[in-house]
Amino acid sequence: MKIPGTVIKTFFPKPGIKVPVNFSKLKARETMLICTGEVNDLMQADLGTAAIQIAEDLRKNFKSAKQQVDDVFSKLETVMHIENRAKSVPSIHSKILRGAMEGDVTSFETAKSYVLDGIGSRIISKSLKPLNEKEIIGMIDDVRINNNPLTAEQKVLLRNYIDGKTLTPEQEIEAFPLFEKFAQPLIEKRSQPVVDNLLLSITKSRMMKEGLTFDEIKAKGLLSEDLIKRLQTETIEPLDITLVNNYRGFNGLPEFSSRQIQAIRKVTEGKVVVRSRPDLADYNRFPNEGYTKDEVKDFALKASGYRTAQANVVHANGALGELQFRGELTNRFAEYEHIAYDLRQNKNTLGPIFDDFKRAVSELSNDDYAEYNLYLEKCYNYYNRLELGLPAVKPKLPKKFNEILSDDSLRILHDKNEAMLKDLEKDFKPYFVAVV
């Protein structure tokens, strides 16, 4: 039945994909969204108006927010490029719909609170040059655990792990903490310029908002002497950071090292939640053993191996954004890795080209899906090793799974779908059109 005050329209999440909804004539800022967890026709209509209004606000704020991020990171030699985008209407609609289903959307303002990543920026770092034999040996010799050099047996174990040789589960448990320590200089070589500018930008924001002085910065030891000199002599664009997640898989390396995370925690003085798992050599627990749900959240662990350092930011114009720091290869993999997860979360706006893939995902039991996540994590680790200049062996999809679930197959589907969408977008303008 048609609800008074609404018009039946078709919602286009993506070109070529249609979803019928009731769309209110009311302006989003004039309407009050009311939901107790059950989304009716009128609520769906109001969600549509809110999504459109939020997207319009983001578009207005996009240019200055983009410039702010570019000013901080774009000139660094380690940065390949920066991707900036304002969140689209369908993405916003999806986010606030989830909030409505949870019963938390009761106004336009609470709808906006679900779009913390309205303006997204990806800072993509360049890969390091491949290490030669001499460099790998030298780095192994430099590894210290509790200030002690590795034993001869540990060096052999670490080298076998680096080279991707088959190890027993017990050997993997022992080798991974050594590998974390080994890789730390490589992680920092690639990401330190980005982290330094992030620290400077956070500090500049605190100076402007809180009146933090140079004397206080020095007295508290918030920054190194070199960074303090840069802060005094360079024009630094302030970024108001509100949350940091250093995401990685249970068996993977982080984007920012433990030392870099500690520097971020220090400069924010506990006023910003910074989630990152300690190095296992310090924490003394193998990744897959005994984590509680709270620890998984606090340590920013992802079952699929998803890896990125991610920060929520309030831009100078008030727009809420998200910064993602990652490498060129893991960024490419992340573009399509999440599709299976989205399907299992009922976020399905995929075109018909994915029908066979969707069918294969729907047939996975919970145990099979957990095993599939282990495969995805190995793919993330493979690409990350290449980014760090390390030897890497491309993982194979277990034979029990449909080949369409493999990395190569999923990438091909993704690329074909993107090409199809670009073709459809030539004549694609509105997100909503009236149904005759």
In a domain? residue 276:
no
Distance CA 156, CA 138 (A): 13
378 belongs to a structural domain:
yes
- When divided into structural domains, the chain yields a total of 1
Residue 352: exposed, middle, or buried by beta-carbon count in 10 A (0-12, 13-18, 19+)? Answer: exposed
User: Residue 182 falls within a domain, yes or no?
Assistant: no
- SS3 category, 307: coil
Q: Is 398 domain-assigned?
A: yes
Record the tokens describing residue 273, joined without a space: 């939640």
- Rounded Cα distance between 281 and 270, Å, is 24
The torsion angles phi and psi of 143, rounded to 5 degrees, stand at -65, 135
- Is residue 376 assigned to a domain? yes
- Range in 19-23, 151-155, 318-322, 373-377 the model is least confident about: 19-23
Segment 189-210 shows an average pLDDT of 97
Read off the DSSP letter of residue 58: H
* SS3 call for 38: coil
Report residue 28's pLDDT band, with 50, 70 and 90 as the boundaries: very low
Instruction: Count other C-beta atoms under 10 Å from residue 70's C-beta.
Output: 15
Confidence at residue 340, expressed as pLDDT on a 0 to 100 scale: 82
Give dist(CA 410, CA 418) in Å, integer. Answer: 12
Domain presence at residue 153: no
**pLDDT at residue 283 greater than cutoff 90:** no
309: pLDDT strictly greater than 60: yes
pLDDT band at 347 (very low <50, low <70, confident <90, very high): low
298 part of a folded domain: no
Q: Is residue 109 part of a domain?
A: no
Cβ contacts of 372-377, under 8 Å, gap ≥ 24: 372/340, 372/401, 372/405, 373/303, 373/304, 373/305, 375/401, 376/304, 376/305, 376/337, 376/340, 377/249, 377/250, 377/251, 377/252, 377/303, 377/304, 377/305
**Structural domain of 396:** 340-426
Q: Which residue has the higher pLDDT, 14 or 234?
A: 234
| pTM summary value | 0.87
Q: What is the mean pLDDT of residues 248-273?
A: 96
Whether 203 has a pLDDT exceeding 60, the answer reads yes
At 392, which amino acid appears? A
pLDDT at site 34 = 57
- Give the mean pLDDT of 316-337: 94
Cα 392 to Cα 44: distance, rounded to the nearest angstrom: 48
